[in-house]
A and B are shown apart, each in its own frame.
Chain A
Amino acid sequence: MSLDKDTVKNIAYLARIRVADDKLEPMAGELSSIMDWIEQLQELDTEGVEPMASPVAVDLPQRKDAVTDGNCQDAVLKNAPDSEDSFFAVPKVVE
């Protein structure tokens, strides 16, 4: 198995996803079988091949550095699970 339980626990922390302890083992099994299958890519010689990040070759367009939007605080906050005085509210982060 290419990914063990501890590795999965660590990735899950990096991705900020709570995976219950009893689900780590089955998840490790599933992810390992997927990663083992992906291993076939190593058969290919890709020496000197340019990695492709996007199918569009055009340069990223630039626009004028100007304010094009704004004054919509209510709309921005409307979907927030919690907000206070026109701010997003989160659990306390400083002691």
Chain B
Amino acid sequence: MTKLTDLTIAGARDGLNNSDFSATELAEAYIQAIDAGGDLNAYITATPDVALDRARASDDRRAKDAPLGAMDGIPIAMKDLFCTEGVLTTAGSHILDGFVPPYESTVSANLRSAGAVMLGKTNLDEFAMGSANITSYFGPVKNPWKAQSGPLVGKDLVPGGSSGGSAAAVAGGLAMAATGTDTGGSIRQPASFCGIVGLKPTYGRCSRWGVVAFASSLDQAGPMTRTVQDAAIMLGAMAGHDPKDSTSAPVAVPDFEAALNGDVKGLTIGVPKEYKMDAMDPEIQALWDQGIAWLQAAGCTIKEVSLPHTKYALAAYYIVAPAEASANLARYDGVRYGLRVAGDSLDDMYMNTRGEGFGDEVQRRILIGTYALSSGYYDAYYIKAQKVRTLIANDFKTAFEKVDAILTPTAPSAAFALGERQDDPLAMYLNDVFTVPTSLAGLPGISLPAGLNGAGLPLGLQVIGRAFDEATVLNVAGALETAACFHALPGTDKGAAS
């Protein structure tokens, strides 16, 4: 039998239904794996007691033939950006020191109602700001994958970010699935670096209530899983209209799993010419070409599309997101929760608390945002960036008049070494060049593992869809997954076993 910690959600669901094992046994297997896998630093807080309580409750429901949720007994990890009642919530920051929320985020509550078993809270870049999970106050996360050849052999690699702990946990066998959040690529890029599936739903599909805010017009929660089918199952359990989030969309949640039929015949897939970068890594280009060929073979029509404002997306994002962050993070004032560093006056206390509580990258972004919103610069930077955002959204609108989905690489490279690009914020921002435009437009995007590079590290392809058409996104991703036949697993320390 497959190891319990290698199972997919769908596989575990079958096993639980057939009484091959109990939810408690599943939870225990993961609790042991988390204990043994501490080196990855994937979790900030493990919650074995919560997990065992919920697993036993799930087993009781099964024993009593009570109604079961879509994820009953499935052990998952929660990105430590979701507020969880009675469980430490840090956002990867020193400034939230000791914060134990008295309430539960809507998404984590939805998952709990669906029967999911929370294993713990995963590490992340501080306030979800980063692309390598190196800005966490709780230390960097290691990617469970190791290079098999080339200059990266023997080095610890980054898992991507900001949902790096979630991605490393799912890839490294420390959670069957995990929640992530994506503001400019924070689900998709780490999924690509760790060889798993990561889905950023349409803005408004999942409630943001109770999720520590970074950039409110961009933040969106989504599933990080081992297969496309698992992503469909988990998204269904997470999504839904929530009156507590005024931007949550009052639209019905389709049965994503049922809609996943593998039939993509007749779909038109767009390939944006502006995504072919001048200095594109040839292995990334080859994978992209392979993806195009797979979809053609599956009966899709391929069409070149133009997204002419792509090259301005990152610059617009690095005004819009920091501006919103500077406003959102104003709440950390040392008064109501978290860290307080004493000062002679109230102002002094604010400045000391925020100077000590926020890490370098978060400070940089708050300062950029404050500058962009300050009088005299507001129109030149903030309004300008919002106008460029309109142009980018319009690019996608025009493209989606001709195509049903768009195929691109997820990230411009595979995972890089811990410590690399650390001192150059701009080089780090380029990680999200393929994911940021979708975020600005609020569209759904998925990353799925499609192959290994020459060094034996996973590479992801991204499928982008129309607003609220996650069903097509999942279906196209499913067709690619079938063709790619990606079954490689990272063997921590042992290297990849294919």
Contacts and interface: CB of A to CB of B under 8 A. Distances in A.
Interface of A: 3, 7-8, 11-20, 27, 30-31, 33-35, 37-38, 40-44, 46, 49-56, 58, 60-61, 63, 72, 75-76, 78-82, 88, 90-93
A1 to B, nearest CB: 13
B349 A41 contact: no
Contacts of B326: 15
22 contacts: A8-B367, A11-B370, A11-B371, A15-B326, A15-B367, A16-B354, A17-B355, A17-B366, A31-B371, A34-B364, A41-B316, A41-B384, A51-B389, A52-B393, A53-B386, A55-B467, A56-B442, A78-B102, A80-B336, A81-B339, A91-B348, A92-B346
B7 interface: no
Interface residues of B, number: 71
Contact of A46 (B100, B311, B384, B425): B384
A14 B116 CA distance: 43
Interface in B215-257: 217, 243, 246-247, 249-250
B275 interface: no
Interface of A is mostly: loop
Nearest to A20: B355
A15 B374 CA distance: 10
B455 interface: no
Contacts of B380: 42
Interface of B: 98-102, 203-204, 217, 243, 246-247, 249-250, 309, 311-312, 315-316, 318-319, 326, 333-340, 342-352, 354-356, 358, 363-364, 366-368, 370-371, 374, 380-381, 383-391, 393, 425-426, 440-443, 467
Contacts, number: 164
B31 to A, nearest CB: 28
Contacts of B333: 16
B366 to A, nearest CB: 5
A79 B337 contact: yes
Contacts of B387: 46, 49-52
Contacts of A72: 102
A54 B215 CA distance: 11
Contacts of B388: 41, 44, 46
A3 B203 CA distance: 34
Contacts of A33: 425-426
B312 to A, nearest CB: 6
A53 to B, nearest CB: 6
Nearest to A42: B384
Contacts of A43: 312
Contacts of A16: 333, 347, 350-351, 354
